[in-house]
Amino acid sequence: MGNINRSVDFSTDSEIAVVTVDNPPVNALKHEVRAGLAEALRQARDDAAVKAVVIACAGRTFFAGADITEFGKPPQAPGLHDVIAAIEATPKPVVAALHGTALGGGFELALACHFRVAVSGARVGLPEVKLGLLPGAGGTQRLPRLIGPEKALQLIVTGEPMAAPKALADGVIDEIVEGDLTAAAIAFARRVVAEGRPLKLVRDREDKLSAEGFADAAEALTRRLRGRDAPAACVEAVRNAIVLPFEEGLKREGELFRKLVTGDQSKAQRHVFFAEREAAKVPDMPDAAKPRPITHGAVVGAGTMGGGIGMCFANAGIPVTIVETGRDLLQKGLDRVAANYRTTVSRGGLGADEMERRMALITGVTELEAVGSADVVIEAVFEEMNVKKRVFANLDRLAKPNALLATNTSMLDVNEIARATARPEDVLGTHFFSPANVMRLLEIVRGAQTSFDAIATAVGLGRRLGKVPVTVGVCYGFVGNRMLARRSIETERLLLEGALPQEVDAAVVAFGFPMGPCAMMDLAGLDVGWRIRKGRGERALIEDALCEAGHFGQKTGKGYFRYEAGSRTPVPDPEVEGIIIEASARLGINRRPIGEEEIVERMIFPMINEGARILEEGIAARPGDIDVIWVYGYGWPVWRGGPMYYADRLRLAHLRDRLTHYADRSEDGTLQPAALIRRLAAEGRGFTS
Ligand code: CAA
């Protein structure tokens, strides 16, 4: 590629200059691209024969943004601002030709062009907020001028992309084109020249800059983004677009961007961005391993999980058969799926016709034989080993050769389940999180005999289903629930020693989780664990007492908290306080006030300790995998980067000392720092170094 440099090509089609950029995979605006663009724009400006310029990208997308790997390094001229200034200074029409995802700095570059044309499948957006940033290349000043501050803020604070038809309706783009994009953009440029259309830059438009409704929109959009710096900075920058002259607003945007990009939150969010992509790569996967094609799925079990998994397939456009043992159970499951879709439709998240299309992809049957046509079968039946083994023995008999056989168990031994078949190489775990159609995390559990092809198939399927797949090894609870179990143990201890559920939850929420452990257990239901413990002869003093008093969680209107009818808001419950105080007394514990800092440490540090053991055992391949699991499966605040990243920021020597302190005080040897923490701390290193 490129007569300007390796990434940028400059050619002319009669009087139209065509600048084509090719920087795979996503045309990030790295230094070489910016330099090439600046040079191409100079040539176009100086060539009197050139009457208009088209900027297009080769490969799968228009620029997907600034090159994130350059953040935190010394800036190299020309910067994106210089390229954008060169576009605006071009006295000839500049047309951006959009396809794929024009995101971040890529979309901002397009906003500086005089015109934008796009293919119908293109999407534009400013996802910087997801990296803890704001659009730093004029997006917060130009987009409000183009579509009004309220709509612009919506795009900037959610970071969600906008599809081309909507972009056309809102005036973000000028035309949707058919056929070859570059040819169509050249034709468009020619028309602009022939018609002598005025070259009005977005920066010079003022007519949409109204403050009406802005304050309310800002409040509504940021209400649930507590703790994050970026959304507030986005609001400030867009407000500046209304009240300050363009250049002044641009200057303030730059200052806000620089503050965010050097701040801890954005660093943490960039870590999660790359860790998520890394997690999709299984380190020991041979190149020869190939995902198997999947055109049809089956789910065994029409319960909440099975139905949710079925929805994931339908949402991805893959036909799926849901198998349940009896007609009534099946109908109940399908009704639940339909009700879920209807809720989304009523909230405007889905068209009624699209709901019909998705429901039509789901077939419910009561004969297990139906799995014979599926390329992947996901078992989501009752969480009991013998039941699972029976299902897998039948799947072995009925599923076609090479079908992926997956269990959605959240803790049972995948190897034992695999042994119920004569093809353990095709068996693995696909651990979805509830609600399965919403939660992004997918733990892929590889058994001792699972083949690489099967793992590659599951990872590929996970991505197609819109999930974030992370491959882990077999152990009790896998990665996420095994770590969570440490938090549950510590929650009970804190309650026995003197804290109340509302205090524990408040500390965890203040740390950044969407809900605390007690509210989370109320949501999941306390009776499930109670039954499992009874079966194993185990006790959890407080939770058992709560269950014995009929406190099963939200479903009974009372658990660790009380819930008014129809409400999900946890209300502190004096009866629960009584049960807890009595439990402390029974153990002869003198209750004491416990501060927020201690609660947070005891909620977080034992989990990180377990994460270290998980790494030692090779159950997770990388610390970043654990971070991704906690961010996408358990609501770990993304701006804190995940538990292992967070531990590195605190320094492992500090973690080691605090764990030792708590282990000594509680005389619980399992709280002693893991060998990996001791070793890394002694070497002054972190998990990620
Ligand atoms: N910079 C550097 N690398 C990037 C990148 C970027 N902006 N966007 C993607 N990549 C890399 C990924 O890390 C990945 O690398 P590996 O193959 O080595 O893992 C590769 O490109 C492919 O990415 P995906 O696996 O994510 O591919 P996809 O097809 O699933 O998704 C995408 C493509 C929608 C563009 C997605 O990559 C994405 O959302 N990228 C980030 C977009 C973004 O946030 N842009 C704003 C950047 S900040 C900015 O522009 C600041 C500013 O205002 C100036």
Averaged pLDDT, 477-484 = 95
H/E run at residue 263: none
Q: Which pair of tokens denotes residue 59?
A: 């490969």
Ligand 1, atom 12: closest residue by C-alpha: 277
Does the Cβ of 480 fall within 6 Å of ligand 1? no
Confidence check: pLDDT of 1 > 70: no
pLDDT digits 0-9 by tens, 597-655: 999 999 999 999 999 999 999 999 999 999 999 999 999 999 999 999 999 999 999 99
Averaged pLDDT, 86-115 = 98
46 Cβ contact partners less than 8 Å away, ≥ 6 residues apart: none
- CA gap 379, 414 in Å, rounded: 12
Is residue 383 annotated as a catalytic residue, yes or no?
no
Does the Cβ of 25 fall within 6 Å of ligand 1? yes
pLDDT digits 0-9 by tens, 371-395: 999 999 999 998 889 999 999 999 9
Ligand 1, atom 25: closest residue by C-alpha: 277
Distance (angstroms) between ligand 1 centre and the Cα of 28 equals 7
- Tell me what pLDDT residue 2 has: 74
Q: Which pair of tokens denotes residue 201?
A: 């830059």
Give the number of other CB atoms < 10 A from CB of residue 439: 18
Work out which ligand 1 atom sits closest to the CA atom of 126.
46
Does the Cβ of 28 fall within 6 Å of ligand 1? yes
Does the Cβ of 101 fall within 6 Å of ligand 1? yes
- From the number of C-beta atoms within 10 Å of its C-beta (0-12, 13-18, 19+), residue 85 rates as middle
Work out which ligand 1 atom sits closest to the CA atom of 127.
44
Is residue 617 annotated as a catalytic residue, yes or no?
no
Give the number of other CB atoms < 10 A from CB of residue 571: 11
Q: Would you place residue 411 in the very low, low, confident or very high pLDDT band (cuts 50, 70, 90)?
A: confident
Q: Which residues pair with 163 in a beta bridge?
A: 123
Q: Strands 175-177, 162-163: parallel, antiparallel or unpaired by DSSP?
A: unpaired
Average pLDDT over the chain, rounded to an integer? 96
Confidence check: pLDDT of 584 > 90: yes
Distance (angstroms) between ligand 1 centre and the Cα of 446 equals 28
Q: Would you place residue 369 in the very low, low, confident or very high pLDDT band (cuts 50, 70, 90)?
A: very high
175 φ, ψ (degrees, to nearest 5)? -160, 145
Q: Would you place residue 227 in the very low, low, confident or very high pLDDT band (cuts 50, 70, 90)?
A: confident
Q: Would you place residue 225 in the very low, low, confident or very high pLDDT band (cuts 50, 70, 90)?
A: confident
Confidence check: pLDDT of 63 > 70: yes
Strand order in the sheet with 94-98: 8-13, 16-21, 52-57, 94-98, 115-119, 175-177
- DSSP character at residue 347: T
Q: Calculate the dihedral angle through the C-alpha atoms of 413, 415, 420, 421, rounding to the nearest 10 degrees.
A: 140
Does the Cβ of 80 fall within 6 Å of ligand 1? yes
Confidence check: pLDDT of 146 > 70: yes
Does the Cβ of 65 fall within 6 Å of ligand 1? yes
- Tell me what pLDDT residue 62 has: 98
Ligand 1, atom 19: closest residue by C-alpha: 277
- Evaluate the omega torsion of the peptide bond into residue 435 and state whether it is cis, within 30 degrees of 0: yes
Distance (angstroms) between ligand 1 centre and the Cα of 26 equals 6
- Tell me what pLDDT residue 434 has: 87
414 Cβ contact partners less than 8 Å away, ≥ 6 residues apart: 407, 427, 428, 429, 445, 446, 447, 474
- Tell me what pLDDT residue 423 has: 98
Does the Cβ of 68 fall within 6 Å of ligand 1? yes
pLDDT digits 0-9 by tens, 551-570: 999 989 999 999 999 899 99
Averaged pLDDT, 217-242 = 94
Ligand 1, atom 41: closest residue by C-alpha: 64
Confidence check: pLDDT of 532 > 90: no
- Tell me what pLDDT residue 298 has: 98
The single residue listed with the structure tokens 């959605």 is 408
Work out which ligand 1 atom sits closest to the CA atom of 278.
19
Distance (angstroms) between ligand 1 centre and the Cα of 274 equals 9
Confidence check: pLDDT of 8 > 90: yes
Residues of the chain with pLDDT > 90, as a percent, come to: 93
Does the Cβ of 161 fall within 6 Å of ligand 1? no
Of 590 and 383, which is predicted with more confidence? Answer: 590
Distance (angstroms) between ligand 1 centre and the Cα of 268 equals 16
The model's pTM? 0.94
Does the Cβ of 128 fall within 6 Å of ligand 1? yes
Confidence check: pLDDT of 307 > 90: yes
- Picking from 525, 522, 518, 514, the residue whose alpha carbon sits closest to that of residue 500 is 518
